[in-house]
Chains A and B, each alone.
Chain A
Amino acid sequence: MDFLREIQELRQFFRSGRTRSVAWRKKQVKALLQLIHDNEQAIFEALRQDLGKHPVEAYRDEIGVVEKSANNSLNHVEKWMAPRKSHVPFLFFPAKGEVISEPLGVVLIFSSWNFPISLALDPLIGAISAGNAVVLKPSEQAPACSSLLAKTIPHYLDPDAIKVIEGGADVSEQLLLQRWDKIFFTGSSRVASIVMTAAAKTLTPVTLELGGKCPAILDSLSSPSELKTAVKRIVGGKWGPCSGQACIAVDYVLVEEKFAPVLIELLKKFIRRFYGDNPKESKVTARIVNKQHFQRLCNLLKDPLVVNSIVHGGSVDEEELFIEPTILLDPPLDAQIMTEEIFGPFLPVITVNQIQESIEFINSRPKPLTLYAFTKDETFKRKIVSETSSGSVSFNDTLVHFLCETLPFGGVGQSGFGRYHGKYSFDTFSHEKAILHRKLFLEIEPRYPPWNQLKMQFLRLAYRLNYFGILLFLMGFRRRN
């Protein structure tokens, strides 16, 4: 493969140390901003081609995210790079401790097709900010975006340090045979396992950004306006991001049985308001990415018990790869739609007797990437935070935690590991190097053999940081332990 040479070049370039300077890092991030600025229309067009994304959605979920992330890095990268002092116990006097974030080296980023721009460029900003050389392998399932990135990036970013390599599974396999200093992967857990197995051969650390079934708990809200807002946000969090093809999209809703009819009515109302009476014509929702995923989604509905649970929508159009926003009420819990991540425009509504039961419901399933809960009950909130486990928790809203760069974004358990966004992206692509500075004077004799009881006694005191004891000891007052 001809990219072997390219990777070697990257390694050489990294060794030259040029990626380490603040100036270089900032220049690259600025160039990236310039890239998305200059090519905004082309990006919109590529996203329309690959996924039928509306420009506003494309801006909100892709360009805007990258812009925000880039600006945040430009504002903070110097601070992130600064060595951090560590307090060193007096015993080691004279000594100074510090932690320095150093770039890992040459890193590999695999991005996914559902947000083909932001999930490629957001980690890239982190890798550059941390001073690494990077290979970006965009998803082949969003071909227009992949080729746009491959075409534009070399013109804007330093081609000696940042390369885009396009291709499918065969190229990925080849890339995984190489030695990397970090692999950052966004995608499915099946492929993640392959990536990590390959990484194990070279002891390469990995960050795995996966998905999972993100639940939304809807408590019985008494205020009608709050209820409306809640449902609106659920609709926004389900069909808003790429028609549900998002790792943090709402996967299903948990609600008390008696409350379900109200919820379903409101869901329908907002679907109508957002997508009109004929969603297919509205061109507001993204389409299903390709035939294969379309088929996968249709298969979820094959189970007759699942079909019977549809209370809204359900129409599909294979030609246009369109699936209508669809609501299901209590589909069987052992059906595929409730055991697999849906990643598409179906929203099962699952009823429970008591909303508190939803905690157990969630805990009996793999850990999701995000848990959403709409409630005003503070005790319930505390219970959710302390008794469930998920990558993140968002109360009374959907998706927006993704935009909060002070919060780490990443999964736990089946939803992945490692985290990024803001400073966390920088950390993900850095090695925190511990440094202890000592002076060559002031020797503590008991450190050295030959060992005897006196030295033992001294060291016992020293380890307890018992300075007074040490003083007494040095003055000749022996104390028993």
Chain B
Amino acid sequence: MADMAAAIISERMQFNSEDASALAKELRVGFDSGKTRSYQWRASQIEALIKLTQNHEEEIVRALYSDLSKPHTEAFVHELAANLSVVLIFVLSLIMAVEEPRRVFDAEAASSLMKELRGTFASGKTRSYEWRVSQLKTFLKLLDDHEQEIVDGLLSDLSKPPLESVVYEIGMLKNSCKVVLKELKHWMKPEKAKTSITTFPSSAEIVSEPLGVVLVISAWNYPFLLSLDPVIGAIAAGNAVVLKPSEIAPATSSLMAKLLGEYMDSSCIRVVEGAVDETSALLQQKWDKIFYTGNGRIGRIVMTAAAKHLTPVVLELGGKSPVVVDSNINLQVASRRIIAGKWGCNNGQACISPDYIITTKDYAPKLVDALKTELEAFYGEHPLESKDLSRIVNSNHFARLTKLLDEDKVSGKIVYGGERNESKLRIAPTLLLDVPRNSMIMNEEIFGPLLPIITVDKLEESFDVINSGTKPLAAYLFTNNKKLKEQFVKTISAGGLVVNDTTLHLAVHTLPFGGVGESGIGAYHGKFSFDAFSHKKAVLYRSFLGDAALRYPPYTNTKLRVMKALIGGGILGIIRALFGWS
């Protein structure tokens, strides 16, 4: 796949802007001659096209399969040939592809994109309930229609097991959409607010209004979910939105660009593909909100860019999410849940996957044994071969992870796994016992299939270990001890906590999902997504009655007294004020 993409890009490179303008000129001459206007010409061209599809059916099928894994169904091509409208669209897309060779998305392009979207947003189109619902329904249809392509894209980018793709990426998105479709009317309703005696007579409400044109920059590890879940929130709240998917997951990125372009309202929902240059061009614009998922280093850059325009940001970052394991628990269940959260989530390349375990010295060997047994049950004796594990995304990350593993003081601590295959970008699930606290692996987010286990004398000490680091996105505890649970909830500051399981809180849409401190700013999921992309506008309705003169100058001591009574709650003062007495 990667080779093919490279080939396509090099082909594009050969076709430069000079060629494009020459081509356009040539076509324009043809068009100006009026030749294309006649019915005979049009019909003859379409007939020729039908002939083309008939004569070259096999090649088309092959091309479609290689691009999109479209099944070898002959019917598809016959249908194509028979259906003139489909042909026309096909032609149009071909011509457009030729006429507009891919250009770098620069500051100019960003500003014209922004202008266009601002125009659409100003028209009020995105505000209506109907538009929002229709877009989300269309999106659901997109997911239904193209599940296989999405799975294939994720397979190509990350070797993600299809089940993980269907469940964690597509399934989560479908759920998000359904929650919105079910609740949106309710969310959009202005919320009544009580008014106090100070403003009597009045009524007040809080109106959720869209922020405007928003930017979503997403990550490569759940490239589909982390791109589109925020987009769903942005649409639900009635915004125009630009999505910049991660270039590190290129197949998914281009698939999203294609599918969203086909299905969604392109006057308000856009995908801009690209890497650093494109992102910088986008960040120069004034957005009404920037929603970024990724790491703290880029998060800082995004927020600094946002500061220029006073744009609010949501930063969904990561951190070292710890798992505290108490003794005397159902160890098998705990191990399985840890494994499901660590390796079952994109092979540890997830912002909420367990980063390290803390347990007591005595209990550690038992825990290691249990983890080994379950890991083998899940991934077999040769985990490097397992189809149920994602690969490492690219060679940079592979090198980063092996560096963590090969550090002198760490390499001897491996108690399970450690195998790797550089050419296939695979690292086996790896357990490390008692790595030193000052090692690299204990000082940066691991984001991969390595799981260090830290031991303490007494489990309570684990809270100090966690609190001595930066605040993680998630923290997990396995215990039956009620007091320990309470203490954990009270003393551990993290984006979210789960007791006796891992990562599951992500799927509960009634819980806000987001970090604190180094793990990020802002939260989303369910109604929280809607809120993240809305401005809560306070609206106070007053009548012309009840005008207490004491508000106005000239000021006197009597006014001061009454005001005090009013604010202090003195009944007499209030009664007097109600009658507008001065």
Contact = CB atoms under 8 A, between A and B. Distances in A.
Nearest to B317: A203
B307 A392 contact: no
A393 B541 CA distance: 8
Interface string A436-447: 111111010001
A97 interface: yes
A395 B541 contact: yes
A437 B539 contact: no
Interface residues of B, number: 109
Interface string B289-318: 000000010011101101110101001010
Interface stretch (A191-199, A254-262, A303-311, A340-348): A191-199
B310 A210 contact: yes
A118 interface: no
B113 interface: no
A200 B300 contact: yes
A286 to B, nearest CB: 11
Contact of B493 (A203, A208, A433): A433
B193 to A, nearest CB: 4
A64 B542 contact: no
B330 to A, nearest CB: 4
A64 B564 contact: yes
Given A64-B564, A404-B195, A240 B310 contact: no
A102 B493 contact: yes
A97 B537 contact: no
Contact of A406 (B204, B299, B480): B204
A439 B498 CA distance: 10
Interface stretch (B15-23, B365-373, B450-458, B511-519): B511-519
Interface stretch (B31-39, B97-105, B416-424, B551-559): B551-559
A226 B542 contact: no
Contacts of B489: 100, 435
Interface stretch (B53-61, B206-214, B263-271): B206-214
Interface residues of A, number: 106
Given A236-B551, A284-B555, A450 B388 contact: yes
Contacts of B308: 193, 197
A470 B434 CA distance: 43
Contacts of A15: 467
B412 interface: no
B567 A64 contact: yes
B378 A274 contact: no
A275 to B, nearest CB: 6
B52 interface: no
Interface stretch (B66-74, B242-250, B331-339, B353-361): B331-339
A181 B517 CA distance: 7
Given A199-B307, A404-B199, A433-B497, 17 more contacts: A56-B557, A56-B560, A64-B563, A68-B567, A105-B517, A236-B551, A276-B554, A392-B540, A394-B542, A400-B198, A404-B195, A408-B536, A408-B538, A413-B310, A431-B516, A433-B493, A451-B164
Interface of B: 122, 124, 127, 161-164, 166-167, 171-172, 174-175, 193-196, 198-199, 202, 204, 206-207, 209, 211-212, 288, 296, 299-301, 303-304, 306-308, 310, 312, 315, 317, 329-330, 333-334, 336, 339-340, 344, 378-380, 386-388, 467, 478, 480, 485, 489, 491, 493-501, 504-505, 507-508, 510-513, 516-518, 520-523, 535-544, 547, 551-557, 559-560, 563-564, 567-569
5 contacts: A56-B553, A59-B564, A282-B553, A389-B212, A459-B171
